[in-house]
Each structure stands twice: as structure tokens, then as C-alpha cells.
Amino acid sequence: MPPPPIAAAATALPAAHLARVVAASGNGGANPPRTAPRRGRRGKPGFSRRSAIKKSFHQEQVVFSTPVPADPTVAVIGGGASGLSCASALAARGVRSVVFDTGMHGLGGRMATRFVDGGEQLVFDHAAQFFTASDERFQSMVDEWLDRGLVREWSGLVGELEAGGRFRAIPSLTPRYIGVNGMRPLADAMLPETDMIKVLRPCWISKLEPFNGLWRLFENEKPHGEYDAIVIAHNGKCANRLLSTSGLPLLTKQMKRLELSSVWALLAAFEAPLPVPCIDSRGAFEGAFVRDVDSLSWMGNNTRKLFPMQTGTPECWTFFSTAAYGKRNKVPQENIPKVTAEKVKEDMLGGVEHALGLSKGSLQQPIYTRVQLCVEITGVQLCR
């Protein structure tokens, strides 16, 4: 998945290639790169992807003159699937790394599972709903997870749901896999038992800058060490923010081509099963890509998916909006206004009614809800 010294989320690079990229784009001088003089701001200051990119373009390109040491230390910013894969691959090559992750409850990024205790435990996969394996190396890891009982093949009915309740099953050419107890435990399983990898969380790296041939990291001006190489395994917005102080305008130009969009995720638990369409003897669907509903693109029954033999308990569903709806209702991801959260919840529940062909207002009220704004990069959802 990933590339450069500072890479916007990807799988592991061979250590040698990582070192070459850093050597070619870093700064070996004793002083940080010079930047263009600051211009006055209009209105309140705040971060935007456009302003970060613009700021980056005014910087001089950093060039390291010192060679990368034989035993480099790498900082991996982001503890999702890409960051953990990268750290694991580096460790296998004898390269030490430190993984910085913002997760309050655990590692995983989009491999996120939310557990809610409210009399009965509610369980939601609120980002990645399932995964497939098309790469032989990844398939070998999945086979190991199967042997350890961490994952299983998802045999539930998955398909397309058109507005009005018309469902069509979609056969999968490759197996769909899910975490037996949700996606989050897979994050811990990705890290090998080794002292070559150190994990720091929760930690939100806010600034990256070159100094004396190394990269310095900061969390709100608090220093977090110096490293020979950096991998940004994070979403595009955070990558742009870090690049704005890096002195790497050439890399920023690559990031500018990355298409980002916003998607809302709604977690909802219902006391009784939803009236979803049944297909012959196969029963009700467990996951559906929704068509022709503006506020809804996916709906997945976590309870049926994770606990198929369980009965008499609330149903936990994960719903995703369309990117178009997310764009029209975009707000700061870190601070969602209550009025917006309530509007999004009502719109998406209305979308569920429309998708299932129910009359307006007839959907049962959920006993639990939570909305989150996600960043989508080329079709992959990254929730926080």
C-alpha cells in the first residue's frame, strides 16, 4: 500500500527502499528549511486541507546530505492496518519503529469495533465491515488467523438493496472474512511479539519537521523524539497537516491528487429485528449496498454477522451515508455540533425506511445511536 518517507497510508515498504526515499527527500543541514513569509489571515484561523497544501507549496524542498544509518529508527504515524503492517515488516528486517496512534480504546484505525454496555452488551464494527484477501502474503496471514480462531468466513447473505425493499444477492468471487469477535482484536494480532516495535497511544502527532538530518515529531509542541524515517499511515487530512511543516512540497503535490470525501456512520441498536427482505430459504440479508437512497450507501447487521446463533437480544446495525450526503453535511470531524448529529441521525434513519420500503415514521425507534464523521479515501472508510 504505501510509499515515501512520509507516506499517506500504505502497507510496508522494504527497509532499504524506505531509507533511499528518506535520503533523497530529507534535510541534512543543521537548520530547518526556510519557508515563505506568512501572510495575514482573514477570519478565524483554522486547519483546512487546502490551506495546508498551499502552505506546503511555499516551502523549499528539503534535501538530506547525511547518509541513513545502518540501524535506522522509523516513526510510523497511525496504528491502523497499514501502519501495523509496516511496523511488522520493518521488524522482520531488523528495523526498529515507534507506532503513534490516536486510539483511546485500542489500535486498529478502520479495524474498529465498539462495545457498548447498557444492560446488554451492544457490539458494532463501525468502520470495516468485512475484508477479502487477493494478495498471497496477506492470505497467509489470514490463514494463520483462521487457525487461531480470530477470523472466519462470513457466509451471511450480502447484496444490493434498491429503494423500496428490492434486494439482490451478490455472490463473492473470493471469501469475505470477519473478525470472530469484531475487527479490533485483529489489530493486536498484526503486531509480532518483539521489542523492535514500540506503541504509543493515545498520541496525536500534530507537527513534523526536519532538523540535523533527522525528523522531529511533536504533539501540541510536546516533542516526541527524532527519527531517521517517517511513515504517515493516516488519512489524507492528517497527512496534509503534517506535510505543511515538513519541507516536502514535491510530496505534497502527490497528496493533492488524492481524492477525499466525507461519509457519515450511524450505529443504531433496535429492540426488535428490522423488517428486512427475506430471500427464499436463505432468510434475511446481513449486509447490503444501498442504491438510490441519498442518505444511505450501506447497512449491516452486526448482531447477525457476529453472533448468528444469538436470539432474543437487540440488533446492532451499522449504516453508512453516501459521499454526496456527507459533503453536503460536512462539519469539523473532531467537534460535531449536536444539532448536526441529530439531523444526520434522523436523515439516515429516514433513509433506512426508504430503503426497506417502509412508510414514513414507521421504523421503530432505536434504543441506542451514535453518529461519526468518517474520511473516505478512494472508497476506503476511515472512522475516528
Share of the chain above pLDDT 90, in %: 47
Pairwise pLDDT comparison (307 vs 377), residue with the higher score: 307
Tell me the angle at which helices 236-243 and 249-256 cross, rounded to the nearest 10 degrees.
160
If one looks up domain 73-383 in CATH, what number appears?
3.90.660.10
Q: What is the pLDDT of residue 7?
A: 36
Q: Which of 124-138, 145-159, 228-242, 276-290 has the lowest mean pLDDT?
A: 228-242
The DSSP code for 212 is T
How much is the pLDDT for 66?
78
| pLDDT above 80: residue 238 | no
Mean pLDDT over all residues of the chain? 80
pLDDT of 188 > 80? The answer is: yes
Tell me, what's the pLDDT at 54? 55
pTM: 0.77
Residue 46, phi then psi, degrees to nearest 5:
180, 160
Are the beta carbons of 187 and 107 closer than 8 angstroms? yes
Q: Where are the beta strands (DSSP E) in the chain?
A: 73-77, 96-100, 113-118, 120-125, 151-153, 158-162, 166-169, 177-179, 197-200, 207-211, 214-219, 222-227, 229-232, 260-270, 287-291, 298-301, 315-320, 368-377, 380-382
Q: How confident is the model at residue 178 (pLDDT cuts 50, 70, 90)?
A: very high
The per-residue pLDDT for range 81-110, each reduced to its tens digit, is: 889 999 999 999 999 999 998 887 778 788
